[in-house]
Amino acid sequence: MSRTDVLDREVAGALSELSAAAKRGLGDPALAELVVVRASQLNHCAFCLDMHLAIARKHGVSERQLDLLAAWEEAEGVYDERERTALALTEAVTVLTDRQVPDGVYEKAAQHFDDRELAHLIGLVVAINNWNRVMVSRRVAPGEYTP
């Protein structure tokens, strides 16, 4: 099953534009993929993990960063402060049903990203959460994506 079968064409186009606009505004493709892979882990989206791990490698994200991503908080020295604040924000924005986005998490991210970057980073997390929900709901199989 491909993407076009699980979404109306107009919906798929708008969602693709949402992801693209967020990535353009963030302007950091490697960080974008780290964030997208982490959200896909939390949402258990096999299709999205398969796809974005491939894209992350293409953008030069290291194997070590990808291997340890599920335990990034404990992986000292593997991610810089900017990446860590982005990952913490990604988790807070993704796991919304348990709690609000804590002030500490938001404020730390705001120290490393200006308002424009932050708005696009949030947009990116929102967009991948949207893809995750579509792909998990329709049980789209991993392995169909080729970079």
Partner 1 sequence: MTTEETVPHAPEHPPRLAWAQHAPEVYKAMLRLDTAARRGLEPRLLELVKIRASQLNHCAFCLDMHSKDALAAGESVERIIQLGAWEESQHFYTEKEVAALALTDAVTVLTDGFVPDEVYERAAKHFEEAELTQLIAAITVINAWNRFGVTCRMVPGHYEAGKHQ
Q: What's the rounded Cα separation, in Å, for the pair 2 and 78?
A: 35
Stretch that binds partner 1, among 49-57, 60-68, 71-79, 137-145 (CB under 8 A): 137-145
Which contiguous run of DSSP H or E holds residue 27? none
Q: How far is the CB of 54 from partner 1 (least distance, A)?
A: 22
Does position 142 bind partner 1 by CB under 8 A? Answer: no
Q: How far is the CB of 52 from partner 1 (least distance, A)?
A: 16
The 3-class secondary structure across 93-109, one letter per residue, is: HHCCCCCCCCHHHHHHH
Q: Distances in Å between the alpha carbon of 143 and those of 51, 80, 122, 136?
A: 8, 31, 27, 14
Interface residue list for partner 1 (CB under 8 A)? 6-8, 10-11, 13-15, 17-18, 21-22, 24-25, 42-44, 89, 92-98, 100-101, 106, 115-116, 118-120, 122-123, 125-127, 129-130, 132-134, 136-139
